[in-house]
Amino acid sequence: MTVEFISAINVNPGNELNGLRDPRIDPKYVARYARVLEDGGFDYTLVPYFSGGHDPFTLATAITSVTERLKPIIALRPNTIYPTVAAKALATLDQLSGGRAVVHFIAGGSDVEQAREGDRLSKSERYARQEEYIQILKRVWTERTPFDHAGTYYSFENFVSLVEPVNGTIPVSVGGSSDDAYRIGGALGDIFGLWGEPLADTKQQIDRVAEAARVAGRTDTPRTWVTFRPIVAATEELAWEKAHRTLEILQDGSKASALWSRNILKASPDGPANVGSQRLLEIASRGDLHDRALWTPTASATGAQGASTALVGTPETVAAAILDYVELGADLISIRGYDNFNDAVDYGRYVIPLVRQELAHREATGQRGEIVAQPPLDEVLRERAAS
């Protein structure tokens, strides 16, 4: 099985742990960060979106200009740009990057956040609009003669785009944990994104998406994308010490540099409105540690406003935990840290190679192997931990 890795771009050295709050883009840092991801074996990087944030199309273009292989995943909210315009923008990026564009749809989990940009549709209406939006994009990318569209949310006549995607279309990712998300993602998604939940819960979600695809008449199913925030160190003891230091900072909002963004994204004083965040908080209420290495207090500390569950342990433990999800059917693994740059370096050096090494072993022998870090890597980690 081929497994691909996803990260998320960071625009400057500020992160959730170091107290740097400047939101401005550092172009040299973006270029360096993107190259670290590519050199570390990442295949994709998410370019996120929220109402007060940077434009993901511009950032994605910058990323592809300094890399050769890394694929930007543009987070797109349908209320922010008309579908024919988005289709052309994505196809333009695709041409400029040699066929690397991917789009991830966000229907919108918070009424408060959506209203900041004038979107006052209900959640069910937002999903219905997203479904129509994706259908339009797929037609724009594939139809070469003018067509009309008269739908609930969009209407136009005699449109045709001269901007074609390199490979005929562009991969569409859909995320969420609601019935509407499963239905639309199962019917229209090439990829379905999940946050890191226990294995049993994740399996239930994968099955829900597969069933939605079957009901929609598909003979295939979307690829599964699962997101974690690994906390890695040379030994289990050091990893757990690092995890608890991270948690202390996240719990103390005055220290966390992402406080401004969490306040912007905050849905309501009663807790998150989206089902995905509710699920993470419910899982966290069951206990701190699940399965091999899934740790949930980080979700509680951040109100589960986004992907926030951790995998804690040595590179071997984290790699083994990732492989547990691969065995469920996840073939896209998103790993991004709380100390973004340094964690990305560590994942590329010590985690991703172990996962790929073990998958190659299984493919060659048909058997599981022992996940063991090479001595030089282990020594580097130990030296860093001791210094």
Are the C-beta atoms of 304 and 284 separated by less than 8 Å?
Answer: yes
Q: At the topology level of CATH, where does 4-386 sit?
A: TIM Barrel (3.20.20)
Beta-bridge mates of residue 175? 193
User: Which pLDDT score, from 0 to 100, does residue 371 have?
Assistant: 86
Q: In the predicted model, what is the mean pLDDT of residues 17-31?
A: 93
Query: Is the per-residue pLDDT at 10 higher than 60?
Result: yes
Confidence category of residue 73, pLDDT binned at 50, 70, 90? very high
Of 187-196, 252-261, 368-377, least confident by mean pLDDT is 252-261
Taking the C-alpha atoms of 86, 98, 40 and 311 in order, what is their torsion angle to the nearest 10 degrees? 30
Domain ranges of the chain: 4-386
Of the pLDDT bands very low, low, confident and very high (cuts 50, 70, 90), residue 387 is: low
**Mean pLDDT throughout 141-168?**
98
Is pLDDT of 6 > 70? yes
In the predicted structure, residue 376 carries a pLDDT above the cut 90? no
Whether residue 48 contacts residue 59, with contact meaning beta carbons closer than 8 Å, is answered with: no
Q: Looking at per-residue confidence, does 22 or 323 come out higher?
A: 323
Residue 116: pLDDT over 50: yes
Average the pLDDT over 294-300 and give the result.
Answer: 97
User: Which pLDDT band, with edges at 50, 70 and 90, does 61 fall under?
Assistant: very high
87-123 in b/e form (b: 16+ CB < 10 A) is bbbbbbbbeebeebbbbbbbbbbbbebbeeeebebeb
For range 58-68, the mean pLDDT = 98
- Asked if pLDDT for residue 269 goes beyond 80, the answer is no
**How far is residue 156's CA from residue 164's CA, in Å, rounded to a whole number?**
19
Over residues 356-366, the pLDDT tens digits come to 999 999 999 99
For the chain, give the percent of residues with pLDDT over 90. 86
Mean pLDDT across the stretch 86-103? Answer: 98
This prediction's pTM: 0.93
pLDDT tens for residues 273-284?
789 999 999 999
H or E segment and range at residue 327: helix 315-328
Mean per-residue pLDDT, 77-103? 98
C-alpha–C-alpha distance, residues 268 and 273, integer Å: 8
Q: 212 near 182, Cβ under 8 Å?
A: yes
Decide if 74 contacts 102 (C-beta within 8 A): yes
Stretch 64-84: mean pLDDT: 98
Task: Say whether pLDDT at 156 is over 70.
Answer: yes
Confidence of residue 272 (pLDDT cuts 50, 70, 90): confident
Phi, psi for residue 267 in degrees, rounded to 5: -80, -50
Give the CA-trace dihedral at 30, 312, 332, 31, to 10 degrees. Answer: 10
Task: Determine the angle formed by the axes of helices 199-215 and 179-188, rounding to 10 degrees.
Answer: 60
